[in-house]
Amino acid sequence: MSIQPLSKAPLQRTVNHLLDDIESRLPDCRRYWWDISRTTCLANQWARVPTPGKVVIADPVPGAKQIDDAEYDSTANQLHVSFRDGITEAIRLQS
């Protein structure tokens, strides 16, 4: 079974155009997502912190920590990640 539409499938250039539009307005997209859903979808995920200010989603392996909560600050374009061990990381997001 395929999920590809049988008719009226968007052309690849149309999909690429949409992706370019999203990328050019990524901070707006993040802000709208946060305003509407109030979630980053990171709670209960496992992650590593290789360097301060950087969080990498990972499998639950040695050195990984479980995310308790995360909040997006649209004014500063930062993500604040709280881990179950009480540690918090502020991540400056790229525009």
| Cα(6)–Cα(81) distance, integer angstroms | 42
Instruction: Give me the amino acid identity at 16.
Output: N
Query: What predicted TM-score, i.e. pTM, was given to this entire model?
Result: 0.77
For the chain, strand residue ranges (E) read 46-51, 54-57, 65-73, 78-83, 88-92
With tokens 């496992």, the residue in question is 46
- Span 55-65, pLDDT tens digits: 999 999 999 99
Main-chain dihedrals φ then ψ at residue 87, nearest 5 degrees: -75, 140
Q: How high is the pLDDT of residue 8?
A: 80
* Predicted confidence band of residue 7 (pLDDT cuts 50, 70, 90): confident
Determine, yes or no, domain membership for 4. Answer: no
Determine, yes or no, domain membership for 37. Answer: yes
Count of structural domains within the chain:
1
Q: Is the pLDDT of residue 80 over 90?
A: yes
Determine, yes or no, domain membership for 77. Answer: yes
